[in-house]
Structure 1
Amino acid sequence: MKPAVTKLTGISHFLAAAGYSIGGFRRLIKEAAFRQELLFFAVSLILLIAVGAALAELMIATVLFLALFAVEALNTAIEEVIDRISPEISMVGKHAKDLGSFAVVCMIVACGVFLVFTIGKHLLFG
């Protein structure tokens, strides 16, 4: 007979979840792509501030980059699972990894389009 699993509630659940999130960040920071995306975010914020972007534009950029970070984390999770359950080369594994990569590229393009539009607007029209 298996021992009963105690379900955490309240503040204990919150603290446990925060610990898992910190662990995920520690894992993700090991990825070169994520570190590059963090640099992209930092440079983007500096550029937006330099051109006089409004607070709303800074917030939109931040939300877009948080979505990029979330998609990168999910892509890394997909890669980890595929490598664990299917270490040999398989078309299913390749497709899963390719789809995750495509999702990341879509978010990078979304961030880039917003930045080009916003920075261009401020440079051209003040």
Structure 2
Amino acid sequence: MSDMPGSKAQYANPQKERRGASRMLHATRYSLLGLRAAWGETAFRQEVLAALVLVPAAFWLGRSWVEVALLAGSVVLLMIVELLNTGIEAAIDRIGPEWHALSGRAKDMGSAAVLLSLLLCMGIWGAAIYQRIVHG
């Protein structure tokens, strides 16, 4: 077997050998499994429940497609960052339960990313609500 890019010997993960529709089908399945796993996280469940209210509300509050996209997109972005943070935490926890400064730092940075995305979301929604109240 060759070590050239694309050769079977190159991949430790046999899923990397999939191509075309098979790869897309398997990637979709793994993504759905990831969402199912994330549902076990309280923060993600709370964000999904908020999204069920906020995304439809974005269509009422937004006055143009750009505003709707910003409002709905900020909610989806928060969920994306939460998923990435959860992935970081899972990877760190897999390494071992003992405390390590770098592990703590990685988890803290993931948490900070969630905080920043939450503040961004709140800022966008706050500005939109303010505009609606003040300028009718």
Q: Calculate the TM-score normalised by the size of structure 2.
A: 0.81
- Cα distance per residue 1:4-56 (max 9 Å; x no partner): 64711111111011011101100111110011112232333455455x42243
Residues 13, 49 of structure 1: alpha-carbon distance in 2 compared, 3 angstrom cutoff: closer
Counterpart in the other structure of 2:53: 43
Correspondence 1:81 to 2:91: yes
Counterpart in the other structure of 1:30: 40
User: What is the letter of the counterpart of residue 38 of structure 1?
Assistant: V
Deviation at 1:98, TM superposition (A): 0.6
- How well do the aligned residues superpose, as a CA RMSD in angstroms? 2.1
Q: Which runs of 5+ in 1 are unaligned?
A: none
Of the two structures, which has the highest relative contact order with CA contacts closer than 8 Å and spacing of 6 or more?
A: 1
User: What is the letter of the counterpart of residue 18 of structure 2?
Assistant: L
SS at 1:71 equivalent: helix
Correspondence 1:72 to 2:106: no
Alignment: residue pair count: 124
Q: Calculate the TM-score normalised by the size of structure 1.
A: 0.86
